[in-house]
Amino acid sequence: MVKFVAAVTTLLVASTSAFAPAGIQRATTSNVVLAMAADETTSKRKLAIKSGTAKKVVVGAAAAYAAVAVGGEVFSKNDESLTPKENSNRPKALSTINVEPNVEQDEPYWQDFLEADPYWDQSSVPVNVHKNKAPFTGKVVSTKRIVGPKATGETCHVVIDHEGDFPYWEGQSWGVMPPGNREKDGKPHSVRLYSIASSRYGDDMSGKTGSLCVRRANYWCPELKADDPAKKGICSNFLCDTQPGDEVNMTGPAGKVMLMPEEDPTTDYIMVATGTGIAPYRGFVRRLFVEDTPAANAYKGQAWLFLGVANSDALLYDDEWQEAKEKYPDNFRLDYALSREQENKSGGKMYIQDKVEEYADEVFTKLNNGAHIYFCGLKGMMPGIQGMLKGVAESKGLDYDEWLKGLKKSKQWHVEVY
């Protein structure tokens, strides 16, 4: 195959423009790539990398179209003159990842190979593919502490390799089965659900990994004046203690309630999180603002993230949010509620509901215009949130129960708490 690719490269290089559909814009890169695309997006395609890393290099439209990057020139798929749906059917781009030079890949790192057709169609979302009696075994790629020294507790980012055999969508959860048995009855530990903290393509954009955001659960004993190991969280401690190569038994993927409705690319998303409830929103933001996906190229709405944590050291993925905010100031918005560093309007601690209330008029306007609102985190967040929303609704002369019923009926209300 590699010899074949080398043989046809010269011919394709000489006639690059002949392969390009009319109107395709051009971008530049230093890489030289040959991509052969099959008729169907689900078929296996071969990719020969002639040098270095692959960066946003385009493969073709229908019927074995090949795009070749030569002399620093490649084709880009964005065309502002076309509709989002038309753009989504045009050539797709490669991820910005490292690939070994001169190596033939069984699966290319295209950021369209896990898309539905059309990309927003949710009829094929995988649910409960792997169950308790026959779990999937993944392997840990890395486990990293992602909070500062003054954070209240330890939170880790765990990347798990599933070799492409455990697909999921943004907003879904994986079940984790910690090793060992319960002391009280000798039965295996029950499954714990964790919201997936990456897009369907994974942090490496290969489509073969997924990530979890896990807070180590410990119990502080006032008598011992120390953590009581007998009451620690079995699964969270297992995950936070994992090393590269460790096996993790998993079930799922679970849930559809937190999926993004992508058919209308102007939809606004309001994302409210406390602590590790940030996980699904990391997948959202990566899909919309980091990766070169059909969804990202089409998106014209605004994604507004509210995150509540104790202090600045407890902020999660702040560098990623700041980068998205800098690159897409009109489409990504960010607000933090730091309970031990900020005060609410009454002089008390700033909790997540207080921060959302500061923008109550905008939030209600967005919801009335079709925005979707998401809540993820500890279940204790919801009474405060709903109490605040009820007060604002009543101040606007609205019947809160009817207002909320309307949001749920139109599927604009998404809650996943634990």
Are residues 281 and 273 in contact, defined by beta-carbon separation less than 8 angstroms?
yes
Q: How would you classify the pairing of strands 209-215 and 155-161?
A: antiparallel
Three-state secondary-structure class, residue 134? coil
Active site residue 376: yes
DSSP 353: H
| Single-letter residue type at 172 | Q
The alpha carbons of the chain give a radius of gyration, in whole angstroms, of: 23
Active site residue 194: yes
C-alpha 97 chain-centroid distance: 17
Are residues 306 and 337 in contact, defined by beta-carbon separation less than 8 angstroms?
yes
User: Which two structure tokens, joined as six digits, stand for 98?
Assistant: 């490292």
E-strand stretches of 371-412: 372-377
Instruction: Give me the catalytic one of 17, 190, 394, 418.
Output: 418
Active site residue 418: yes
DSSP 236: H
Q: Which of 118, 19, 31, 13 is nearest to 61 (CA)?
A: 19
**Residue with token string 């814009």:** 25
CA dist., res. 126 & res. 123, Å (int): 9
Instruction: Give me the catalytic one of 173, 195, 198, 339.
Output: 195
Residue 62 CB coordination number (10 Å): 14
Kindly report the backbone phi and psi dihedral angles of residue 312, in degrees, each rounded to the nearest multiple of 5, phi listed first.
Answer: -60, -35
User: Which two structure tokens, joined as six digits, stand for 278?
Assistant: 């940030």
CA dist., res. 192 & res. 254, Å (int): 11
CA dist., res. 282 & res. 287, Å (int): 8
Instruction: Give me the catalytic one of 119, 168, 194, 374.
Output: 194
Residue 414 CB coordination number (10 Å): 24
User: Which two structure tokens, joined as six digits, stand for 32?
Assistant: 């030289």
Are residues 74 and 29 in contact, defined by beta-carbon separation less than 8 angstroms?
yes
What residues does 271 pair with on adjacent strands? 305, 374
Q: Which of 121, 201, 173 is nearest to 417 (CA)?
A: 173
Are residues 238 and 179 in contact, defined by beta-carbon separation less than 8 angstroms?
yes
Residues forming the active site: 194-195, 376, 416, 418
